[in-house]
């Protein structure tokens, strides 16, 4: 772990070992955040079972599948390669700075390995459907007996009890369950057609990292372990607090606003020169409205009695959108943004990934960090930086996402003390490897 020290300083979580049985995004994001600040994250995986949507959608996608954009696509050069499970974009993002070992927890000797790892670790994070963990005995009752100072964080979508306990779900389902889709969508549309959002997963990951860090502090201070449960859907419900309080106090159900705002007018996202180029503009009061009109060289709009008050601009928002669009459609998005910002009007380009990678602010701050992966050709690839900075504790990514089973020798031989002979036995018995078996679906 000394390789992650920077400028002679230790990262705050250096020396902390966390077992990771996390899937999809919420759980892996929690361990990603902890890994970035020095925790040794060991992913416990199996070559006998492929976890869909974690190392990819399917074990062996065809080149045709890999050419698709979205969840199935994203492979370098749209080529799944010989080991596509090591090349997927989502996994390579959230698994950076982590380790990977393989073991079959459905076998007794795999269970023994798990207990040995628990004894040598500080905690575990998982976000599987509860019944899956119960089948292989990954429970607080078990790990707390093996290691009384252990921190266990479980973060299933709907918690460890209740009628939804074993629902298998994605962030979109969690968001729907707590009402997020009722506040998304464009005016006059049905909320059911607003499309997916997976922000509940991201919220769960950030909440999970905070919860685990708090639990670790408790365990160190009190010299005893702690069990923490986060229902990811409930965690995300807190992000909708203003809508929920408004309903409980006033019985108000939110209206779909699209890019508009309940208290600001005009506000919207407007097309600019070029293909799929957009600019968001938000006017907070009468003074800014007059400034916007001046920038657009439309003082006639500023004098129009329909638009001189906030209520009027709200009432005639559709007309204003047309007038603003007539101006933005002739503008280059970034230039218009700068023009408006310098005049004192809130405006921002709707940025593509290309824009983000070239953004001078992000580049100047060193937000993008390069990592090179042995099975991703083309040299180092840029990754997002960490969620926050610490003034006296510099950090950087030090390792690309692990290949499946890449750290088996480290875990089995260095941590657990396996002999070469015993290691070979585990290989032959299907625990250790870097490839999924031909019969794994």
pLDDT at 194: 73
CB atoms near residue 410 (< 10 Å): 13
| Spacing of C-alpha 10 from chain mean position | 26
Banded pLDDT at 2 (limits 50, 70, 90) = very low
pLDDT at 189: 82
| pLDDT, tens digit, 9 for 90 and up, residues 270-309 | 999 999 999 999 999 999 999 999 999 999 999 999 999 9
pLDDT at 385 over 70: yes
Domains of the chain as residue ranges with CATH: 2-239+368-428 (3.40.50.10540), 267-358 (3.30.1540.10)
Report which listed range, 258-272, 380-394, 406-420, is most confident.
Answer: 406-420
Share of the chain above pLDDT 90, in %: 84
pLDDT at 406 over 80: yes
Apex 434 CA angle, 403 and 384, nearest 5: 10
In the numeric block, the tokens 């190392």 are attached to 55
Choose among 128, 188, 127: nearest CA to 317: 188
| pLDDT, tens digit, 9 for 90 and up, residues 138-177 | 999 999 999 999 999 999 999 999 999 999 999 999 999 9
Report which listed range, 63-77, 216-230, 386-400, is most confident.
Answer: 216-230
What is the full DSSP assignment across 47-96?
TT---TTTS-SSSS--HHHHTSSSTT---GGG---S-GGGT-HHHHHHTT
pLDDT at 256 over 90: no
Lowest-confidence segment of 7-21, 37-51, 336-350 by average pLDDT: 7-21
Average pLDDT for residues 239-260, to the nearest whole number? 91
pLDDT at 3 over 70: no
Beta pairing partners, 281: 268, 347
Lowest-confidence segment of 85-99, 180-194, 345-359 by average pLDDT: 180-194
Average pLDDT for residues 329-344, to the nearest whole number? 97
| pLDDT, tens digit, 9 for 90 and up, residues 194-240 | 777 889 999 999 999 999 999 999 999 999 999 999 999 999 999 99
pLDDT at 73 over 80: no
Looking only at the bridges linking them, the beta strands covering 40-45 and 226-229 are unpaired
Average pLDDT for residues 41-70, to the nearest whole number? 89
Lowest-confidence segment of 6-20, 94-108, 234-248 by average pLDDT: 6-20
pLDDT at 74 over 50: yes
Lowest-confidence segment of 59-68, 235-244, 259-268, 276-285 by average pLDDT: 59-68
Report in angstroms the alpha-carbon separations of 96 from 147, 201, 256, 405, 414.
27, 18, 38, 14, 21
What the block records as the tokens of 205 is 């990951």
For all residues of the chain together, what is the average pLDDT? Answer: 93
3-state helix, strand and coil shares in percent for the chain, rounded to the nearest 5: 40, 10, 45
Banded pLDDT at 70 (limits 50, 70, 90) = low
């Amino acid at each position: 772990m000394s390789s992650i020290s920077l400028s002679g300083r230790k990262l705050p979580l250096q020396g902390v070992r966390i077992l990771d049985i996390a899937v999809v995004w919420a759980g892996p994001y929690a361990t990603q955040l902890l890994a970035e600040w020095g925790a040794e994250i060991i992913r416990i995986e199996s070559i006998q079972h492929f976890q869909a949507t974690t190392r990819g959608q399917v074990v062996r996608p065809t080149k045709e599948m890999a050419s698709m954009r979205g969840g199935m696509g994203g492979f370098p050069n749209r080529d799944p390669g010989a080991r596509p499970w090591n090349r997927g974009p989502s996994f390579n993002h959230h698994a950076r700075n982590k380790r990977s070992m393989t073991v079959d927890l459905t076998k007794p000797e795999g269970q023994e390995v798990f207990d040995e790892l628990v004894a040598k670790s500080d905690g575990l994070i998982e976000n599987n459907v509860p019944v899956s963990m119960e089948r292989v005995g990954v429970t607080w009752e078990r790990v707390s007996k093996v290691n009384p100072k252990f921190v266990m964080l479980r973060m299933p979508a709907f918690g460890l009890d209740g009628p939804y306990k074993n629902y298998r779900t994605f962030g979109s389902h969690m968001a729907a369950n707590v009402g997020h889709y009722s506040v998304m969508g464009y005016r006059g549309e049905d909320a059911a057609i607003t499309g997916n959002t997976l922000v509940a997963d991201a919220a769960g990951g950030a909440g999970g990292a905070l919860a685990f860090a708090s639990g670790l502090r408790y365990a160190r201070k009190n010299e005893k372990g702690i069990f923490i449960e986060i229902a990811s859907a409930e965690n995300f419900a807190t992000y909708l607090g203003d809508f929920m309080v408004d309903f409980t106090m006033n019985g108000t159900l939110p209206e779909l606003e699209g890019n508009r705002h309940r208290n600001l007018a005009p506000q919207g996202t407007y097309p600019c020169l070029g293909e799929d180029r957009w600019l968001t503009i938000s006017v907070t009061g009468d003074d800014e409205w007059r400034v916007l009109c001046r920038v657009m060289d439309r003082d006639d709009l500023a004098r129009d009695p329909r638009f001189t008050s906030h209520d009027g601009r709200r009432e005639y928002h559709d007309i204003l959108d047309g007038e603003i669009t007539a101006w933005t459609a002739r503008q280059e998005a970034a230039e218009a943004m700068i023009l408006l910002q310098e005049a004192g009007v809130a405006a921002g380009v709707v940025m593509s990934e290309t824009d983000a990678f070239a953004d001078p602010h992000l580049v100047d701050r060193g937000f993008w960090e390069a990592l090179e992966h042995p099975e991703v050709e083309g040299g180092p690839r840029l990754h997002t930086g960490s969620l926050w900075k610490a003034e006296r504790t510099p950090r950087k990514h030090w390792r690309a996402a692990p290949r499946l089973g890449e750290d088996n020798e480290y875990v089995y031989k260095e941590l657990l003390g396996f002999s070469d002979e015993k290691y070979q036995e585990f290989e032959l018995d299907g625990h250790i490897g870097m490839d999924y078996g031909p019969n794994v679906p």
